[in-house]
């Protein structure tokens, strides 16, 4: 009797699993349609660029050859890497220090500071473009990497601090007390105890900030005017003419600048999900 019941339960689970697999495949295909259409557009001639079909012949590589020859893409790639990596490093370090200070140290007015930092999350970056540009101009940071690195870091720290403070609050203080008794100073305690304990949260913060900094457009548009210093997200603009006469080249450059992000996320998605789930089950 028990075997029959178990078989029925297992068969029901398998059936439900197949149903959910089909549903997710359908949803995934629908979600992938714009991406597939973008790739298809990048291989089309101007004459058949707007044909309302998903695939069309002939497939050409001229659009990719043109955008590669017209732009110093390797320099633009370096600009994106420099601004992104440095902003991510600053956000991860400063947010971890803030989380440690607000959670473990007797900082005066820490609730006020925490709430003020949270309020900054409600302000869109588009509303800050003009004041940030004026600040960059006063510091002489226009057409310099600092004009993007420090604003990206400043805008990313509040979100990262909220994430890391949640991990820090759940971390047992007894381990820190034991380390202090063993002679650890604040620096050693932070490096040897706090940072390892925040690793799942830091993974989430690093991935999120990397994607945000890499894809940012508005501030990069008004900060970097030098063709050799522009980030990759700015390159498609020159193919968006009034008459949209080069759609294939536009979609070709969009495909090229999407590849690094797709590869990056494919490599880190497991760690990203693990970090989110680790934060979800704490407490």
Residue 143 contacts residue 226 (beta carbons within 8 Å)? yes
pLDDT at 110 over 50: yes
Which tens digits make up the pLDDT trace of 20-71?
889 989 998 888 888 888 888 888 887 787 777 778 777 888 888 888 888 8
pLDDT at 279 over 70: no
Of all residues in the chain, what percent carry a pLDDT higher than 90?
18
Mean pLDDT, range 86-106, rounded to an integer:
85
pLDDT at 283 over 70: no
Instruction: Count the alpha carbons within 13 Å of 193 in the hemisphere toward its beta carbon.
Output: 22
pTM: 0.79
Per domain, the residue ranges of the chain are: 2-61, 63-281
129 vs 55: CA distance, rounded Å: 40
Tell me whether residue 97 is exposed, middle or buried, using C-beta atoms within 10 angstroms of its C-beta: 0 to 12, 13 to 18, 19 or more: middle
Of all residues in the chain, what percent carry a pLDDT higher than 70?
87
Domain made up of 63-281: CATH architecture: Orthogonal Bundle (1.10)
190 vs 202: CA distance, rounded Å: 14
Would you call 256 helix, strand, or coil by DSSP? helix
Q: Give the DSSP per-residue string, 183-244.
A: T--HHHHIIIIIHHHTHHHHHHHHHHHHHHHHH--HHHHHH---TTT--GGGGGGGG--TT-
Residues in the chain: 283
Which tens digits make up the pLDDT trace of 137-148?
999 999 999 999
Mean pLDDT, range 238-261, rounded to an integer:
78
């Amino acid at each position: 009797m028990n075997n029959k019941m178990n078989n029925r339960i297992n068969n029901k689970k398998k059936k439900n699993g197949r149903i959910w697999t089909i549903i997710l495949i359908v949803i995934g295909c629908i979600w992938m349609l714009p991406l597939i259409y973008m790739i298809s557009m990048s291989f089309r001639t101007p004459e058949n660029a707007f044909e309302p079909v998903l695939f069309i012949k002939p497939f050409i590589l001229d659009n990719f050859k043109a955008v590669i020859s017209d732009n110093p893409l390797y320099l633009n790639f370096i600009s994106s890497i420099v601004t992104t990596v440095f902003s991510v490093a600053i956000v991860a370090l400063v947010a971890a220090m803030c989380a440690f200070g607000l959670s473990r140290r007797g900082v005066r007015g820490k609730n006020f500071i925490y709430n003020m930092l949270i309020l900054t999350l409600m302000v869109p970056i588009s509303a800050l473009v003009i004041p940030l540009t004026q600040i960059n101009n006063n510091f002489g940071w226009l057409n310099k990497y600092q004009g993007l690195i420090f604003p990206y870091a400043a805008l990313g720290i509040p979100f990262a601090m909220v994430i890391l403070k949640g991990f820090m609050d759940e971390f047992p203080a007894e381990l820190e007390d034991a380390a202090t008794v063993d002679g650890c100073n604040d620096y050693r305690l932070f490096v040897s105890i706090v940072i390892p304990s925040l690793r799942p949260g830091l993974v989430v913060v690093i991935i999120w900030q990397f994607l945000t900094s890499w894809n940012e457009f508005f501030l990069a548009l008004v900060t970097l005017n030098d063709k050799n210093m522009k980030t990759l997200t700015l390159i498609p603009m020159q193919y968006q003419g009034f008459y949209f006469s080069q759609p294939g080249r536009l979609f070709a450059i969009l495909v090229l600048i999407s590849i690094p992000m797709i590869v990056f996320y494919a490599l880190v998605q497991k760690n990203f999900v693990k970090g989110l789930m680790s934060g979800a089950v704490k407490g």
